[in-house]
Amino acid sequence: MKHSWILALAALALQAQAAITVVDDDGNKVTLQQPAQRIVAMAPHVTELLFAAGGGAKIVGAVSYSDFPEAAKRIPQIGSNRQVDMERVIALKPDLIVVWLHGSSARQVEELRALGIPMFHSEPRKLDDIAASVQKLGKLMGTEAVAEPAAASLAQELASLRKRYANRPPVRLFYQVWDKPLYTLNGTHIVSDAIGMCGGVNIFASLKVTAPIVNVEAVLQEDPEAIFSTGERSLDDGGVNLWKPYTSMTAVKRANLFRLDGNLLNRAGPRMVAGAAVLCEKLELARQHRRSK
Highest mean pLDDT of the ranges 79-83, 110-114, 153-157, 263-267: 153-157
Locate the domains of the chain by residue range: 15-156, 167-292
| Average pLDDT estimate for 268-291 | 96
For residue 32, pLDDT beyond 80: yes
Closest CA to 108 of 92, 88, 124: 88
Which H or E run includes 173?
strand 171-176
Q: Is domain 15-156 annotated with CATH 3.40.50.1980?
A: yes
pTM of the predicted protein model = 0.89
Query: What CATH fold (topology level) applies to the domain 167-292?
Result: Rossmann fold (3.40.50)
Q: Burial code of 152-173, b = ≥16 C-beta within 10 A, e = fewer? A: eebbebbeebeeebeeeeebbb
Task: Count the alpha carbons within 13 Å of 12 in the hemisphere toward its beta carbon.
Answer: 6
**Is 15-156's fold the same as 167-292's?**
yes
Compute the C-alpha angle 229/158/126, nearest 5°: 65
**To the nearest whole number, what is the mean pLDDT of the chain?**
91
For residue 8, pLDDT beyond 60: no
Q: Could you tell me which residues are beta bridge partners of residue 84?
A: 79
Instruction: Look at residue 7 in the predicted model and tell me its pLDDT.
Output: 53
- Confidence band, pLDDT 50/70/90 cuts, at residue 14: very low
- Confidence band, pLDDT 50/70/90 cuts, at residue 84: confident
Task: Please provide the distance, in angstroms rounded to a whole number, between the alpha carbons at the two ends of the chain.
Answer: 88
Instruction: Look at residue 292 in the predicted model and tell me its pLDDT.
Output: 64
